[in-house]
Amino acid sequence: MYRAVVLLVLLSLATASAHAQKRQPGSDWLARLAPLRSGDAQPFQFQEEIVAGPEHLVAYVSWAPPDSRCVILCDRFDGLPLLVAVDGKAWLYDLIGGQIVLVRAEPQLVTRMVEEGVRSKWGICSDPNDPDSQITINVDLAGVMKHVAEGTGVRCTFDAASRTVRCSGKERRAVLTGSAADAARPASFVFVDTSNGPNRFVGMRFGSFVFGGPVPSWHHAVNRDSLAGRLPVVASADAARLPEEVRKRLDTMRAVFVNNGLFILRPALRDSALRHTIEEHTPIHLDFNAIAANDARMRDAWRAVLHDQGFDLPTPTEPELLPARPWRR
C-alpha cells in the first residue's frame, strides 16, 4: 500500500476568551478566499515548496476539469523529479531497486485544518478509506490562516491594498497574499514553524498560481514505452511475476515509502549525519553505496526522458521565503 507523506503541525490554538472574541485582521477578505480542490469548475495550477526536516521538495500541481489531476514532486536541491503522478498512475524514482516503478495510485496534495492542527500531505494515495483520498487536491489556505491567527501570542496585520495578512508569533509565522485580479484567489502563501528546533524546521511556500487557461505542458502521463527504452521500468502490479531479487528490492522500496522515507534518500546521500541516523534507527536494511550508484546511473537518463516527453518544469521564481534553495536551472 502506497500513501502520501503526512505532516501534522500542531498549533497552539488555545486562546483567552477576550482574544477569541476579537475580530481578526482581514477576516472579511479571508472569508471570500476559496479553497482549491479537485472537482472545481475552473482549472488551476500552482507550485509548492516543502521543507519538512530533511525533506526538501518542490511540488507542481495541476487540476483540469472534468477529472484530470497531476502532482509532480521534485528534489528541491537540483530539481530532479522523484514522483510523477497523473490520473491514477504514478511513476516513482526508485533508488533502492535502480528502476522506475509504476503504481496505480492517485496523486495527492493536501493542506488544510483538522481538529489537531494543520494537516499537509504530498505524494500519492491508494487507500480508499483515507478521507483525504476523496478529494485528491485540497488546499484551504484561508482556513489555515484563520486558525494560525487564533493562536496564543500571535500578532496579525492586514494590508487591504495588497490583500496581505501577516501573522507572527515566537515560533510560527504565516503570510497570505491575495490575487490583485481576483479577491477570491490566492497569489502566495508562506507558513514557517520552528517550534521543534532547527533540525525539524517546517516550511511551506505556495506560489505561481494560474487560474483558467490551458493545462500546463507537464500535465500528462509518462510514455512507458519511451521510458523503458532508457531505464528499467517495473509495474507494481506485476510484482508476483518478477524475479525474486527484483521483488525483494521492490518490497524494500515499498516499506521505505510507506514509512515516509523515500524522499529523504537523496538528502541522505548529501548529508553523512542524516545517513548515519537512518542507518542507526531504521529496521529496514539500506545499502547506501548501491543507492548512490543507482542515482549516478539513473538521474541524467530520467531527466532526459522527461525532457524529451515535454516535462519542462519551471524554476520557482518568487522571492525566497524559505531557507535558501541551493539549485538554479
Q: What is the DSSP secondary-structure string of 35-101?
A: -EETT-SS-EEEEEEEEETTEEEEEEEEEETTTEEEEEEEETTT--EEEEEETTEEEEEETTTTEEE
Q: Does the pLDDT at position 52 exceed 60?
A: yes
Q: Is 187 among the domain residues?
A: no
**Preceding omega of 66 cis (within 30 degrees of 0):** yes
Q: Measuring CA to CA, which residue among 152, 93, 148, 102 is closest to residue 126? A: 102
Q: Is 5 among the domain residues?
A: yes
Instruction: Report how far residue 288's alpha carbon sits from residue 277's, in angstroms, rounded to the nearest whole number.
Output: 12
Characterize the bridge pairing of strands 106-114 and 137-139: parallel
Q: What is the pLDDT of residue 23?
A: 56
Determine the structural domain holding residue 310 and report its residue range: 1-13+35-152+193-314
Count of other CB atoms within 10 angstroms of residue 258 = 12
Q: Does the pLDDT at position 171 exceed 70?
A: yes
Q: Is 164 among the domain residues?
A: no
Residue 121's SS3 state is: strand
291-317 pLDDT tens trace: 999 999 999 999 999 999 999 887 755
Residue type, 302: W
Q: Is 131 among the domain residues?
A: yes
All three cell numbers of 294, joined, read: 543507482
Q: Is 170 among the domain residues?
A: no
Cβ(158)–Cβ(31) below 8 Å:
no
Question: What are the φ and ψ backbone dihedral angles of 23, each rounded to 5 degrees?
Answer: -75, 125
Q: What is the pLDDT of residue 13?
A: 38
Q: Does the pLDDT at position 1 exceed 70?
A: no
Q: Is 175 among the domain residues?
A: no
pTM assigned to the model: 0.88
Residue 132's SS3 state is: helix
Q: What is the per-residue burial (b if ≥16 Cβ within 10 Å, else e) of 272-308?
A: eebbeebeeeeeeebebeebbebbeebbeebeebbee
**What percent of the chain shows pLDDT beyond 90?**
47
Query: What average pLDDT does the segment 34-49 reach?
Result: 93
Instruction: Report how far residue 142's alpha carbon sits from residue 309's, in angstroms, rounded to the nearest whole number.
Output: 36
Distance, CA of 297 to chain centre: 25
Q: Is 65 among the domain residues?
A: yes
User: pLDDT band at 3, cuts 50/70/90?
Assistant: low
Cβ(54)–Cβ(267) below 8 Å:
yes
Q: Of the given ranges (100-104, 271-275, 279-283), which has the lowest mean pLDDT?
A: 279-283
Q: Is 294 among the domain residues?
A: yes
Instruction: Report how far residue 325's alpha carbon sits from residue 322's, in angstroms, rounded to the nearest whole number.
Output: 8
Cβ(177)–Cβ(186) below 8 Å:
yes
Is the Cα torsion angle 26, 28, 33, 34 positive or negative in sign?
Answer: positive
User: pLDDT band at 255, cuts 50/70/90?
Assistant: confident
Q: Measuring CA to CA, which residue among 268, 266, 261 is closest to residue 283? A: 261
**What percent of the chain shows pLDDT beyond 70?**
84
Q: What HEC string does 200-244 produce?
A: HCEEEEEEEEEECCCCCCCCCCCCHHHHHCCCCEEEHHHHHHCCH
Which whole-number Å values give the CA distances from 88 to 67, 102, 221, in the listed order?
11, 11, 10
The total domain count for the chain is 1
